[in-house]
Amino acid sequence: MSAADGSLASSWPVAPVRSPAVEPRRRLRAVETPAPRRRPKLLYGVIAVLGAFLIAGSQMVLSIMTTQTSYELSTLEKTQRALTYDKQILYDEVAGLSSPQYLAANAAALGMVIDESPSYLRLSDGKVLGAEATSNGSTSIDAIGRGVVPNSLVESTPLVTAPDATIEGAPVLAADPSAVSDTPLPVTDGLPTPSTH
């Protein structure tokens, strides 16, 4: 060890060793009187109760509104179904009234005749090509009396041009409530059996 090392060792201060500090023991003592307990303020209780009532009331209002909305939706769906059925009925009526049979029957009621041999008009000079038009105004095709293919949509519909006639040629009869209908009578006791005697 050199002198320089010894001077360095003497320049470092050495801390004295201390013993752990001993804390004085706490002394127990009796509490004189407990502090008076504070009563909760009445305002806080009122606010809590009102808040609970408001939450319950809003839930009831939302439930009633949801139920009312579901009833309205059900009513609107029934109305939409009824309108869809009405629309389909109107489409069927329009299809029947625009059928060629109904149009031909209305034309025949106006006095128009169907030419059995068609003629054509040439536009350049106005000449009629084909068989000549019938001069007496008669035809063998009867649009009112007999339809080639029966059309059940308009067979009982009165003609526009002749309200007393239908496409089948029969006059239109007023609806008689005592008339016999095509529907069978309801069965009241047992199965219906044919009478054999």
Domain ranges in the chain are 46-95, 99-130+140-171
The arithmetic mean of pLDDT across residues 24-52, rounded, is: 81
CA 82 to chain centre: 11
Helix residue spans in 98-115 (DSSP H): 100-110
Instruction: Give per-residue pLDDT as tens, 68-118.
Output: 999 999 999 999 999 999 999 999 888 888 888 888 888 877 877 776 677
**C-alpha distances in Å from residue 181, one per residue of 48, 158, 177, 190:** 73, 20, 9, 22
Please state which of the ranges 56-65, 77-86, 187-196 shows the lowest mean pLDDT.
187-196
Q: Check if the beta carbon of residue 105 is closer than 8 Å to that of residue 157.
A: no
Instruction: Give per-residue pLDDT as tens, 112-156.
Output: 777 667 778 888 898 888 766 544 555 555 555 554 566 777 777
